Amino acid sequence: MGVFHFKHFDIDDHGCGMKICSDSVLLAAWFLPPYRDALTVADIGTGSGVLALLAADIMPKAKIIAIEKDTAAAEAASRNFTASPWADRLTTVNADFVDFAAEGNHKFNLVISNPPYFTTGAQATDAARAAARHQDTLSYDTILTANILEPGGNLGLVSPAEFEHDIIYRAELSHLKLRRLCRVVTSHGKQPTRLLWDFATKEGPLTDTTLAMRDTDGRYSPEYRQIVEPFYLKL
C-alpha cells in the first residue's frame, strides 16, 4: 500500500504482512476515548503500529508498548513511531507475545489488539501475510488468557462476529468481565460482521450496542463518522 496519511501521523506499511484496515481504526476510536487518562498501554500484534499510534494520539499521558513477532513489521512500526509526534512514548518490542507475557513482570492499564482471525483454509502464499492473517501466530485464546492487566484494567479487541460465543466463553474462564460490546454492521438491517469488545478485571454493567457503518443510501452513517472522523484525513 505504501504510505497512509492520518490526520496527525503517517503509516508506512511496507514489509508488513497485514495492511492497514478499518478494523484497527474503529477499535481504537471506539475503545480508547473513555480511558484517555491511562498511563500504560500494550498493543499486541502491532503490525505497522497503527493501533499504538492511535493510542498515543488519543491518550496524551500514555506510554505504549507495541509487541510484534514479525521482524519486518516490528521494524516498520519502529520507523512509524520515530516519525510520529509521540516517539518518546512509543516502544516496539520484537518478540512472540507468549514469551513476552510469560516473563511475568509486565502489567498495563489497557491492552488492545486486532489479532489474526483466520483459523482454517489455505495459507497466503506470502509468508508474512500468512502469519499476519492466521491465528496460529497469535490467537484470541492467547490474548484472553494472558495475565498482563493491572487491577481495574481493560482489554479491547476486535473480532469477526462469528467468534462471539467462543470469546465470551474464554473470557469467562479467565475471569474477565464484559463491560461493552459493539456489533458492527455494514448498514442498517444487516447482520453484524465485526464485534468490538471491552473486557475489564472488575464487575460492572454491560452496554451492548450496534453501529451501522453506512446508511441505506450507501453513505457513511453519522454515528460512524462521529467515531472515526477525528483520525481520518477524509472519509
Give the residue among 57, 56, 152 at the shortest CA–CA distance from 65.
56
Asked if 35 and 200 count as a contact pair (C-beta separation under 8 A), the reply is: no
CA dihedral over 55, 57, 62, 66, signed as positive or negative: positive
pTM value? Answer: 0.90
Angle at 16 between CA 45 and CA 156, to 5 degrees: 25
According to the model, what pLDDT value does residue 16 have?
Answer: 72
* 105 occurs within a structural domain: yes
Give the residue among 180, 217, 211, 213 at the shortest CA–CA distance from 197.
180
* 235 occurs within a structural domain: no
* 217 occurs within a structural domain: yes
Q: How does residue 17 score in pLDDT terms, banded at 50, 70 and 90?
A: low
Integer Cα distance of 187 and 215 in angstroms: 6
* 47 occurs within a structural domain: yes
* 83 occurs within a structural domain: yes
Integer Cα distance of 34 and 38 in angstroms: 9
* 3-state SS string for 92-144: EEECCHHHHHHCCCCCEEEEEECCCCECCCCCCCCHHHHHHHECCCCCHHHHH
Mean pLDDT, residues 213-231 taken together: 95
Q: What is the dihedral of CA 24, 196, 38, 226, to 10 degrees?
A: 70
The domain of 85 spans 3-228
Q: What is the CATH number of the domain that holds 203?
A: 3.40.50.150
Burial of 61 (0-12, 13-18, 19+ CB in 10 A): exposed
According to the model, what pLDDT value does residue 126 have?
Answer: 46
Task: Write the pLDDT tens digit of every residue in 59-94.
Answer: 999 999 999 999 999 999 999 999 999 999 999 999
Q: How far is CA 96 from CA 24, 44, 66, 201, in A?
A: 20, 10, 11, 24
* 69 occurs within a structural domain: yes
Task: Write the pLDDT tens digit of every residue in 138-164.
Answer: 799 999 999 999 999 999 999 999 999
* 233 occurs within a structural domain: no
Integer Cα distance of 8 and 134 in angstroms: 30
C-alpha cell of residue 39: 498511563
* 234 occurs within a structural domain: no
Number of domains in the chain: 1
Integer Cα distance of 176 and 156 in angstroms: 12
